[in-house]
Amino acid sequence: MPTDSTKQDITTDNKKVQDLQQNTEDSTGQFLTTNQGLRINDDQNSLKAGERGPSLLEDFILREKITHFDHERIPERVVHARGAGAHGVFKLNEDLSEFTKAGFLTDTLRETPVFVRFSTVAGSRGSSDLARDVRGFAVKFYTDEGNFDLVGNNIPVFFIQDSIKFPDLIHAVKPEPHNEIPQAASAHDTFWDYISNTPESAHMIMWLMSDRAIPRSLRMMEGFGVHSFRFVNEEGKSCFVKFHWKPKLGVHSVAWTEAQTISGKDPDFHRRDLWEAIENGNFPEWDFGVQIVPEEDEHKYEFDLLDSTKLIPEELVPVRRIGTMTLNRNTDNYFAETEQVAFHLGHVVPGIDFTNDPLLQGRLFSYTDTQLLRLGGPNFHEIPINRPIAPIHNNQRDGHMRQQINKSKTAHSPNGMSGGCPFQAGKMQGGFTSYPERIEASKIRGRSKSFFDHFSQAKLFLNSQSDPEKNHLTDALSFELGKVETLSVRERMLYFLAQIDEGLAGAVAYNVGMHVPKEVKTLLNQTKPADASDEEYASVVKEGSLDKSVALSMKNSPTDIIETRKIAILATDGVNAANIQAVKNALMAAGATCEVIAPKLGFIAGVDDTPVAVAKSLLTTASVFYDAVYVPGGTNSVATLEADPDAIHFLNEAFKHCKAIAFDADAMQVIKATYFGRKLPEDNSDETVLMEGIIMSDDASALATKFISAIAQHRFWEREKARKVPA
């Protein structure tokens, strides 16, 4: 039997669903009407003076339809314009009342509705999902104490330390103003000119140039709150907290060349992947984690907790996983929900408060200001997707698109005419109380010396990467700087990189045909106070206490599951249908999805005339959309595929991108026709792993077992040198 608390949870969850449903309408089977409810007989022909005469101004149906169309676009977000959203729930597993009084973090029986919006940062709404970019990871918790918005990214640090620099950063990364080029790409002069003059960006650049910036799926990337926040408990005791989202499927990426191909073939790759996963019941899940630092330990570390260009290594403060978020429902209407959702760092609940992080402080102003312009006025909180489940009572009135109808004759406080209502909650009634932090200081435009160290954590990140990840990072920097036309910018960036690692700088310099300069003529550190001496600055620039951090490498992501991985089965007429079914059953039992790819759509015939449904043709798909490939046997199928250039290209491309490839023993001639297959030994046993991630067997069950284990590794980066094959 459900407890009273459980009943309350169900009511809370259903309340948000019902709130959205009452504003959701299905027009199926309904008569066409105007916006005023008038039934329309004909909206395909405007009202005219005669069949060939002029249209008449009195045609109110035409005017309403055209006017609405002319005004149906709103300003797109300045950043995070391209997004994908979904509904879900958050379930707490561990009571945190020791640290916070926030109800949704103290009641383990409660289930909190959430809406999540993922996004890219730099590109416009029409750009590609696969740009090398930061990903937004914003979560709106609809708690019964009000909405809490956790506005974060898939990278735990940021480019800058102070929000006053944010307009400059975005102006630099956006398309260059004289020609609006490039779109959704940072490979241009203005961005790298800015970065090369902003050493506080060193740590962020390492993340941005790593594979973290090209995730395999939105379901397979981490999320971070970036800033240090405060928890405050019932006794008024405070501690610092960093927020984390850890995906259940692990953290995985695509190869850079693969991302470029996907952008051309399906720029909606991430949005489609998220939508289809939820529609198919493969609900994405993340563990919600916190790093908690007691207030008395604020100055314990070699970095400043208020510096958003720094993270807290998990070796120093482990992430405490306290709950799970599950996305289980797609949007009903993209514009009404994903596009109109308004996040704001200032949307907090009792028990969560702010720190003096100078980047956080400026963002608290920016979000409200942006929504006022984008959503047309101060009542954006009344749009259904933004409306809290907690009731709203205040003296704020009127404004554009006001929906709430207030009955009271008073709209001022204090008042005696309405009995003083609405009352102030006060501390004892659960109202929000700002943490009474004691501050004694002079007004100053400057930064603490503890913000001066820009390179130690950039070094930590680089040192923590596996060799393949370091190679990718070098390649990414070489690609980006190779696009920079201004020589002085390239020189400054090479000097910049040398402060992180001389080997990295040297490798990039070689790739762009330059030498690493010993010094640069322009002032590198624009953040150092003018009255700070070089010696004073040098005294706080130090080596970090950690050489490596395991959590910073994606290589350490879980490799024991293949849930929702997408497997391509290459086949055509004459295929061994029994082997297809056996391998497919094993893969699906492990949680993967399988699609048969053939030269044509429809059905293909097995050796015993068993019909096999084809999901995609070689003309309409590519290996970049799949995580692994299986080639079943069958004399006729094998012979046809061996002679099909598209099939051979499909396999070469999969090998190039280091994916697992499996084939029946009697399909060896198809593999031998590929670039990599020519290097396989001739005298193979019946059951062999021929090279990393290439599997062959004449037993379908044994092959499936090895194939599943290989897919779980995600990629075989050991083939890195060989992946530059013709494909």
The catalytically annotated residue of 14, 45, 68, 80 is: 80
Residue type, 528: K
User: What residues contact 465, with CB distance under 8 A and at least 6 apart?
Assistant: 210, 473, 552, 553, 555
| 349 close to 146: Cβ distance less than 8 angstroms | yes
Q: Which residue carries 């406080």 as its tokens?
A: 413
Q: Which of 604, 629, 616, 593 is nearest to 727 (CA)?
A: 629
CA separation for the pair 219, 683 (Å, rounded): 42
- 63: tokens are 């005017």
* Terminal alpha carbon distance of the chain: 60
Residue indicated by tokens 């999902």: 129
Give every CB contact of residue 485 below 8 A, 6+ residues apart in sequence: 189
DSSP 366: H
Q: What are the two backbone dihedrals, phi and then psi, of residue 349, each rounded to the nearest 5 degrees?
A: -125, 165
Helix axes of 502-511 and 467-482: crossing angle, nearest 10 degrees? 50
Contact of 521 with 226, CB cutoff 8 Å: no
Query: Do residues 549 and 315 touch, judged by C-beta distance below 8 A?
Result: yes
Distances (CA, A) of 371 to 72, 136, 139, 367, 457: 17, 17, 16, 6, 34
Burial class of residue 602 (count of CB atoms within 10 Å of its CB; 0-12, 13-18, 19+): exposed
Half-sphere exposure of 208 (CA within 13 A, CB side): 26
Task: Yes or no: say if 344 and 378 are a contact pair by the CB < 8 Å rule.
Answer: no
Active site residue 35: no
What is the Cα–Cα distance from 693 to 456, expressed in whole angstroms? 36
The encoded tokens of residue 244 equal 């984390």
* Selected catalytic residue, list 23, 45, 71, 153: 153
Residue 389, sorted as left (phi over 0), alpha (psi -120 to 50) or beta, turns out to be alpha
Closest CA to 658 of 625, 689, 694, 622: 694
Whether 153 sits among the annotated catalytic residues: the reply is yes
Query: Rounded to whole angstroms, how far apart are CA atoms 507 and 461?
Result: 17
Mind giving me the DSSP string for 213-274?
Answer: GSBS-GGG--EE--S-EEEE-TT--EEEEEEEEEETT---B--HHHHHHHHHH-TTHHHHHH
Of 373, 354, 376, give the one whose Cα is nearest residue 363. 354
Catalytic residues, which ones? Answer: 80, 153
